[in-house]
């Protein structure tokens, strides 16, 4: 039968032989990035790990949290810890697509139009409060994210490499916001949620402020760039060699398929979501010092990688079911390979 390939012994995905151990020097350089971020941001460890994984996977990130939990500070500090070009755009209700991507401007001297690059031409773009801008402007950014290029007047212009968008948003129920289109949320590799800090963390935030910490002056707080594009590329090359057994590939697929059968969801995870979960689990395995992925890596990354790729049914929402609880149920229901 044409639609059935001959049965073969499944080989692990990745380079053959014993998995290469992640290089200690590269891992420690990425640990240094975390240390630099910690000079300004107290706690929020899960979000910091998520951002490092996004750097390793060259994926875009959506950061969500109520006002004042250091979303902006976190991304500003991350960019200060990297030797990468960074730009920040505040997404306001009156921002136009051209304010993001760039536009053609008329030069009276030469009597010609020339392209003036918008802020999207950078390595790390902080798209602050993305859900405060109308859909047309959101769409221009989401297109650039997907295609990694900007087309104005029919001419495609490639964006720099790496190109990473870290978008912040307040929870969508807030007034005066435009929720991102469900179909386009898939373009974010991860959705990280910033919780309110624990009491002792909040006391530490205040202690730093009392000690003279100024969130506007990160250099004074001692934050310095400790990693560049070359280092990230070398780390990425190692992540690409992290092995995944057929059992673990099957586990990733089973978790994603289980979301499609969940009675609480109207939309389950797409195959693109499954590839994203594989990528983030691999990066996490590497960061954990392993040359192979375990089911626990997959479980650890399931929430941030999948939470924005599923849609709750209205009835389930009314009953108090949350995306997080559905994902927990899914993870508990799928047999884990041994």
Angle formed at CA 86 by CA 84 and CA 91, multiple of 5 degrees: 160
Coil vs helix vs strand at 99: helix
**CA torsion, points 283, 9, 20, 162, in degrees to nearest 10?**
-40
38 touches ligand ATP by CB under 6 A = no
Q: Tell the smallest beta-carbon distance from residue 96 to ligand ATP (Å).
A: 22
194, two tokens = 């910033």
Q: Considering only residues 26, 42, 144, 269, which one is a binding residue for ligand ATP as defined by CB under 6 A?
A: 42
48 touches ligand ATP by CB under 6 A = no
Q: Which helix (H) or strand (E) holds 132?
A: none
**Residue 71 bridge partners (DSSP):** none
Taking the least distance from each CB to ligand ATP, the nearer of 67 and 289 is 67
Question: Out of Mg ion, ligand ATP, none, which partner does residue 73 contact, by CB within 5 to 8 A per kind?
Answer: ligand ATP
Four-residue CA torsion sign, 324, 308, 41, 280:
positive
Taking the least distance from each CB to ligand ATP, the nearer of 113 and 174 is 174
DSSP 168-216: EE--TTSTT--PPPHHHHTTEEEEEE-PPPPHHHHHHHHHHHHTT--TT
For the chain, how many residues are written? 338
Q: Tell the smallest beta-carbon distance from residue 76 to ligand ATP (Å).
A: 8
Instruction: Please give the residues from 163 up to 202 whose contact with ligand ATP meets the rule CB under 6 A.
Output: 170, 197
Q: How far apart are CA 68 and CA 89, in angstroms?
A: 18
Taking the least distance from each CB to ligand ATP, the nearer of 82 and 298 is 82
CA-wise closest residue to 306 among 142, 190, 181, 180: 190
Q: Considering only residues 30, 37, 41, 256, which one is a binding residue for ligand ATP as defined by CB under 6 A?
A: 41
Window of 67-75, 144-152, 283-291, 313-321 that interacts with ligand ATP by CB under 6 A: 67-75
Window of 36-44, 77-85, 144-152, 153-161 that interacts with ligand ATP by CB under 6 A: 36-44
Instruction: Please give the residues from 205 up to 224 whose contact with ligand ATP meets the rule CB under 6 A.
Output: 205, 215
Window of 13-21, 35-43, 149-157, 296-304 that interacts with ligand ATP by CB under 6 A: 35-43
277 touches ligand ATP by CB under 6 A = no
For residues 192 and 75, the answer to whether their CB atoms sit within 8 Å is: no
Q: Tell the smallest beta-carbon distance from residue 128 to Mg ion (Å).
A: 6
Q: Tell the smallest beta-carbon distance from residue 49 to ligand ATP (Å).
A: 15
Window of 42-50, 131-139, 222-230, 258-266 that interacts with ligand ATP by CB under 6 A: 42-50
Give phi and psi for 11, each to the nearest 5.
Answer: -95, 150
**Could you list the residues that contact ligand ATP (CB under 6 A)?**
41-44, 65, 67-73, 170, 197, 205, 215
């Amino acid at each position: 039968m044409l639609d059935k390939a001959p049965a073969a012994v499944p080989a692990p995905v990745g380079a053959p032989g014993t998995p290469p151990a992640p290089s200690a020097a590269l891992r420690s350089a990425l640990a240094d990035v975390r240390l630099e971020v910690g000079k300004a941001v107290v706690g929020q460890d899960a979000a910091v790990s998520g951002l490092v994984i996004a750097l390793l996977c060259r994926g875009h990130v959506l950061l969500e949290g109520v006002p004042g939990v250091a979303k902006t500070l976190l991304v500003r500090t991350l960019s200060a810890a990297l030797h990468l070009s960074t730009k920040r755009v505040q997404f306001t209700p009156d921002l136009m697509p051209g304010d993001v991507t760039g536009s053609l401007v008329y030069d009276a001297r030469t009597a010609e139009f020339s392209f003036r690059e918008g802020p999207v031409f950078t390595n790390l773009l902080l798209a602050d409060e993305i859900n405060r801008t109308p859909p047309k402007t959101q769409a221009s950014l989401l297109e650039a994210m997907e295609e990694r290029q900007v087309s104005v007047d029919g001419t495609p212009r490639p964006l720099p490499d790496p190109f990473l968008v870290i978008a912040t948003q307040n929870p969508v129920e807030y007034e005066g916001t435009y929720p991102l289109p469900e179909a386009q949320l898939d373009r974010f590799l991860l959705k990280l949620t910033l919780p309110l800090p624990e009491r002792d963390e909040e006391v530490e935030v205040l202690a730093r402020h009392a000690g003279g910490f100024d969130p506007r002056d990160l250099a004074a707080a001692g934050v310095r760039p400790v990693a560049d594009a070359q280092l990230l590329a070398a780390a990425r090359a190692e992540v690409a060699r992290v092995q995944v057994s057929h059992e673990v590939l099957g586990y990733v697929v089973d978790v994603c398929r289980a979301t499609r059968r969940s009675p609480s969801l109207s939309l389950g995870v797409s195959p693109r979501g499954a590839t994203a979960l594989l990528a983030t689990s691999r990066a996490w395995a590497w960061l954990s010092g392993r040359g192979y992925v375990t089911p626990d890596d997959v479980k650890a990354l399931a929430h941030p990688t999948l939470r924005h790729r599923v849609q709750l049914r209205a009835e389930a929402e009314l009953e108090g079911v949350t995306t997080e609880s559905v994902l927990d149920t899914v993870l508990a229901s799928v047999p884990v390979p041994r």
